Structure 1
């Protein structure tokens, strides 16, 4: 993706997709959690109602049992049978038990065990009593009664049918004379408490006694299958006590557990989570539809926003491309007031500044070439050449050829230095050599001595300076400063390097200059018409400014004791610097 537009479009779409997907997932998860929480709360409430109803029924059964075990008529009949051993007495006991049996529909039958006689009397229609009960069965019943309170899961001592739930209460009459059992059939418990809970969502449902033995279940499982389920239940709810109501959840199943406080019977059931969340199918489709619509709207908005954002970028990119091809007159169109608009405005201002700098550079180069041409391609003034050649002529006649040769050599070197076109810069030592030749010729012309002192620091002698930058200043000092006729003229020339700056000072003991004269001299644009060259002080000023800009400085200080000219410029040893 090289295009900014495509990057912006993809970025917006990614943000929209991630946001919409995240919101959809959050809402879906939240909805699923809410449905599951509501189902758990509803199921717990139903389980609590069932277990409370069961416990209430167990209490009523127990109250009837206690009342029957304390019935004096039953105790009297037990005593009578123990003494007389007549079946008529057993039949009368059956009638008493049936009267208590009719008081509570939860009680399927009463069993009265006369342990010493190994006789069992029942309220059932047939058989009414059984005379021979195995003593070990009676002892097992007594043992369980002693070790456990509440209802027990017992086998029917008469028919031997499937176990039933029973409360057992001893009958005391100067000692334990028997045991009375109030029996509750498994089918009664199933139809009244378990069957109504069977539906498509519940996978397992069981009613257990206080020892976690299965009383009844909602299906036909037996043996190992039931044992496995009980072990799972015990593992998940091992810390739950009487009166507790707990829930356990794993990845696939929700487990419910409720234990009654009085009877200590437990209701256990498990539910498939997927079944509970089956109603979310329509909700999934609803959320999927919302997600698709959101993505379509996001795509449209993303395309519009990408185009809106990319338009000023495209405009600026096109402008930059035209500028890179040399069309500096091209300007970016400002089409927005945001950061891109500011960028386009600043870019246009930058182009304006570049055009201005190019024009200034062209003009500066033109002025520089003009100044160099003026400095390097000057002409020797005819008046100076005439006087000099006449002086040389008279010297040749009067003083001989040796001195004449020296003068001619100095003059030739001076002409070569002034007329030569090789390079715009000379070293300070080379410029000083030109000054020495020039002063020698001036001394010859005026037939006097001009004392010239050179204090050139070794570090400064190799510094490069513009050609003939010192000669016009020395010439100005000789012609307009010192009085040649008096023969006491003095010119001091010094050069030192201070840090990265070359400092040159030319000092004379002439008549000096006024401030107005200095100002006129430095600001004048009039070319010279006299002297050795047509290069004047204004040209020196212009060349310093062109070569060095603000890094150079030309200063005049003058009074009645003389004039001092100070030149400051960067210390350079290579023309590239």
Structure 2
């Protein structure tokens, strides 16, 4: 990420850079905050919508459960009332009435049971209670012409009642209403059935409590207008619905909310719906609430959207205010930049005139003072340069061109060659080459073969000065001869041998060079006086310290170049670093050998 930011082309203007940085540092956190806020808002809206749907369904569940519990209470009362059970058992065991007294007694018993049923249903919900005995005797709170109770035995679910024990109940879902007075306005009914048993003697009767389906869907009407509430059995069949046409149809999403009382967002016909479910404890049925998700979150989403728009408006207002403040703050810097561009074009008379107690004001003052000093220095340098040019002109007029000197020496050499004095001519030729090599400063390094030729000329000149000649034996390989080396690094070694090793006596100097392990190995060996070990050790220390004498003075016995061994070591060490090595060996009466190990890699600098 940082690499991408570095590669981005930022504006050249400091003001734009500052604004870009400020906007970036504010915009990125703001966008992240808005994204997180949006995500959390969606979750909060969803959770709130689910909570609202569950609370609404819980309220409906309370009313529906109360209605079904009312049906259970009626059935329980019939099963638990001792007087009623005694009458029912007697009627089931002795259906024949003998005499007026028996008939009257049966009439009174029937009145007692009927009164109890009417009393149960009088103050509560409208219920149709049927007590049907095995022998065909029945007790109801509705007239027989409305529906004959014995017809219940023909219902397909009636045989299942024989498998019930104790307080087990069989809930009969929505079936067509059997009561003639209710069939037009209430086409469906919901029933609860139980058996009446006398210990282990078996079933002697049945109690059936029936309510109209309309009583349930009226409870659904209390739910929010955008919520579709229904009652579904365990198989997914709709038992009660505000729209009677839906009763009996299959609800395919029950299994998605069947694990406890859950809520899910489910796509139905291309639109998301919030589906919530609540299981009823006794019947095994489930209350289901189906709400379009957009409508469920509309009110909550409206509040969040208003908050979001307020935050967005506040952000842009603050951003515009920040850009205005940054523009005001950076205005002096922009002016200072324009003055700097004017100065860059050569107009030194312009000034920024920016003043103030802050850093920008101090910068403007310092910039103007700097321009004043620069202008004064330029005037001073202009006068100095004019004087310097006049002095150089006078110097050039008195200077002799070195090439004129070389040409004169060459003319003298040619005249001596013409007169037959070849020795003097060669001496002048060697001197001319050495002078040319000494004066020429156009390059810091030369080929090793050029350095060897310089040594040849130097030894030839030195042999002309003294009576006893010193022989020079050169053995250089081809690859070593082409190596670039610093100028005049061999001459001090040869000079040291001529002056200190032979003392104007004859001898032999051997120069060998070859390449080994990416190193140029240069060995200079003489057969002169040599040194003892104490002197050799002292010389090594002096060279390592970069001087020829303990007092720091240069050796008074100078040769042609005036460069000592310490100077050679220092130059090569500065050029090649620690990779360069100088080794010195000497033995009294046998001579001295100096070995240079020069790395072939590129030098640090040519001194």
Band of TM-score, shorter chain: 0.5 to 0.7
| Kept after mapping to 2: 8 A contact 1:24/1:291 | no
| 1:250 alignment partner, one of 261, 266, 272 | 266
Structure 1: give runs of 5+ residues left out of the alignment. Answer: 328-334, 337-372, 393-400, 529-534
Written as runs of structure 1 = structure 2, the 5 A alignment for 1:492-511 is 492-497=508-513, 499-504=519-524
- 1:436-451 to 2 correspondences below 5 Å: 437-438=460-461, 441-442=464-465, 450-451=468-469
For residues 54 and 69 of structure 1, do their structure 2 counterparts lie closer, same or farther at Cα, with a shift above 3 Å needed?
farther
Q: Hey, what does 2:211 align to over in structure 1?
A: 184
Q: d(CA) in 2 for partners of 1:521 and 1:259?
A: 111
Partner Cα separation in structure 2 for residue 378 and residue 526 of structure 1: 29
* Alpha-carbon distance in 2 for matches of 1:312, 1:304: 14
CA RMSD of aligned residues (A): 6.2
Q: 1:186 to 1:375 in 2, by over 3 A?
A: same
2:308 match: secondary structure: helix
Residue 194 of structure 1 pairs with residue 202 of structure 2:
no
- The separation in 1 between residues aligned to 2:155 and 2:72, in whole angstroms, is 26
Query: Pick from 418, 441, 450: which aligns with 1:427?
Result: 450
The alpha-carbon distance between structure 1 residues 147 and 500, as it changes in their structure 2 partners (threshold 3 A), is same
Largest Rg, 1 or 2: 1
Counterpart of 1:293 (choices 308, 314, 325) is 314
Correspondence for 1:455: 473
Residues 556, 375 of structure 1: CA spacing in aligned structure 2 closer, same or farther, 3 A cutoff?
Answer: farther
Against the structure 1 CA distance between its residues 81 and 190, is the aligned structure 2 distance closer, same or farther, given a 3 Å change threshold? farther
Structure 1 residues 306 and 520, CA gap change in structure 2 (3 angstroms): farther
Structure 2 partner of 1:19: 32
Shift of 1:50: 3.4
Distance in 2 between residues matched to 1:465 and 1:48, nearest whole Å = 104
Number of the residue aligned with 1:274: 294
Gaps of 5+ in 2: 1-8, 349-357, 360-400, 441-445
State the match for 1:3 in structure 2: 11
- Provide the residue aligned with 1:99 in structure 2: 115
Q: Once the 2 structures are TM-superposed, how far is the Cα of residue 62 of structure 1 from its aligned partner?
A: 1.0
- What is the match of residue 129 of structure 2? 110
Q: Which residue of 2 aligns with 1:56?
A: 69
- 1:76-225 map, 5 Å: 76=90, 82=96, 95-105=111-121, 106=125, 108-113=127-132, 122-124=140-142, 127=145, 130=148, 137-138=153-154, 140=156, 142-146=158-162, 149-153=169-173, 159=180, 161=183, 162-170=187-195, 179-191=206-218, 193-195=219-221, 197-206=222-231, 208=232, 214-217=238-241, 219-222=242-245, 225=246
Question: Are 1:61 and 1:107, in contact at CA under 8 Å, matched by a contact in 2?
Answer: no
Counterpart position of 1:29: 42
Query: What CA distance in whole angstroms lies between the structure 1 residues aligned with 2:318 and 2:281?
Result: 59
Q: Is the 8 A contact 2:470 2:507 kept in 1?
A: yes
Quote how far apart the aligned CAs of 1:412 are. Answer: 0.1
Change (3 A) 1:305 1:558: farther
Which deviations, in whole Å up to 9, do the C-alpha atoms of 1:145-198 show, x marking residues without a partner? 23563343565556383343333445668876654433333344444x434x33
TM-score, with structure 1 as normaliser: 0.61
1:561 shift after superposition: 7.2
Distance 2:108 2:192 in 1: 22
Q: CA deviation at 1:378?
A: 8.8
SS at match of 2:208: strand
1:342-353 counterparts in 2 under 5 A?
none
| Number of residues of Structure 1 aligned to a counterpart in Structure 2 | 481
Q: Note closer, same or farther for the CA distance 1:259–1:465 as it changes in structure 2 (3 Å cut).
A: closer
Q: Is the 8 A contact 1:94 1:121 kept in 2?
A: yes
Match of 2:280 in 1: 260
Corresponding residue of 1:340:
none
The C-alpha deviation readout for 1:310-365, integer Å capped at 9, x for no partner, is: 9999999x999999x9x9xxxxxxx99xxxxxxxxxxxxxxxxxxxxxxxxxxxxx
**CA contact 2:279–2:287 (8 Å) conserved in 1:** yes
Once the two structures are superposed, what CA deviation does each residue of 1:540-564 show, in whole Å capped at 9, x if it has no partner? 8899699867459999999997997
Contact between 1:69 and 1:180, CA under 8 Å: does it hold in 2?
no
Asked if the contact 1:111/1:120 (under 8 Å) is kept, the reply is yes
Cα deviation, 1:109-140, whole Å, max 9, x if unaligned, reads 333446655x7654325748859x56x95464
The Cα offsets for residues 235-288 of structure 1, whole Å up to 9 and x where unpaired, read as 335x56xxx644343252232333333344543322232222122202211122
Once residues 518 and 62 of structure 1 are traced to their aligned partners in structure 2, the CA distance between those partners, rounded to angstroms, is: 130
